[in-house]
C-alpha cells in the first residue's frame, strides 16, 4: 500500500514569503493558521504588499500572535487605516496551540512564519513552522549537500 502524501496547503496567491527561514532553521512541523485582520490590512495584502522576513510567532495567554510582520498602510485608506507592525492574532485549534506550547517550552523550538497567502476561498492564511535554529556548521553542511545534489544531477544529465 502506498504511503499517503503529506497534506499540502491550498496556496492560490502567495503574498509574502520568508525565504531565509529554510536556511536559518531546521523545519520540524508546519501548520496552517488563519489571520485576524482589519479591513485595510486585507486590501493591502491583496495588493501584494507585506513582508515577514523578520517576524516570528509567540504564545501569550493560550493564544498565538504574529509579531513584527509588516503590512504597510493601504494607499487608498483614510484615517481608519491600520498600524503596519501591530501584533496579529493567529487562528488555530486548541490542540495545535498545545502542541506548539509543548515544543517551544520543552524542546526550545521557535515558531516562525514561512509564508502568507490566500487560499482557494479567499481567506488570508499563514504557514507557520515549528523550527530549531541552525548553527554555522549546519548551514555550511546544508550548502555542501545542496551543491552536491546540483552537481550530481548535472553529471547524470551529461553522462546518461
In order of 4, 114, 137, 139, 160, the CA distances from 61 in angstroms are 36, 23, 36, 34, 58
Whole-Å CA distances, 105 to 5, 8, 39, 95, 111: 30, 27, 34, 15, 11
* Torsion angle (degrees, nearest 10) of CA 61, 67, 72, 78: 20
Examine residue 32 and state whether it is found in any structural domain, yes or no: yes
Considering the domain boundaries, does residue 56 fall inside one?
Answer: yes
Residue 118 covered by a domain = yes
Using CA atoms of 89, 93, 98, 103 in order, give the dihedral in degrees to the nearest 10: -70
Residue 149 domain flag:
no
Residue 57: helix, strand or coil by DSSP?
strand
Mean pLDDT value across the chain: 89
According to the model, what pLDDT value does residue 120 have?
Answer: 87
Model confidence over 70-99: pLDDT tens digits?
999 988 888 888 888 999 999 999 999 999
Domain encompassing residue 125? 13-134
Classify residue 141: in a domain, yes or no. no
Q: How many domains does the chain have?
A: 1
What CATH number is associated with residue 107? 2.40.280.10
Amino acid at each position: 500500500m502506498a504511503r499517503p502524501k503529506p497534506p499540502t496547503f491550498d496556496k492560490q496567491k502567495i503574498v509574502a514569503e520568508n525565504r531565509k527561514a529554510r536556511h536559518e532553521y531546521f523545519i520540524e512541523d508546519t501548520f496552517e493558521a488563519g489571520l485576524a485582520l482589519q479591513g485595510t490590512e486585507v486590501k493591502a495584502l491583496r495588493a501584494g504588499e507585506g513582508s515577514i522576513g523578520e517576524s516570528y510567532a509567540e504564545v501569550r495567554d493560550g493564544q498565538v500572535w504574529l509579531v513584527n510582520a509588516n503590512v504597510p498602510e493601504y494607499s487608498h485608506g483614510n484615517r481608519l487605516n491600520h498600524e503596519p507592525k501591530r501584533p496579529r492574532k493567529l487562528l488555530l485549534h486548541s490542540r495545535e496551540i498545545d502542541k506548539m506550547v509543548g515544543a517551544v517550552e520543552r524542546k526550545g523550538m521557535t515558531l516562525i512564519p514561512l509564508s502568507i497567502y490566500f487560499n482557494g476561498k479567499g481567506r488570508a492564511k499563514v504557514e507557520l513552522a515549528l523550527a530549531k535554529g541552525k548553527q554555522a556548521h549546519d548551514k555550511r553542511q546544508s550548502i555542501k549537500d545542496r551543491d552536491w545534489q546540483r552537481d550530481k544531477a548535472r553529471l547524470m544529465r551529461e553522462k546518461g
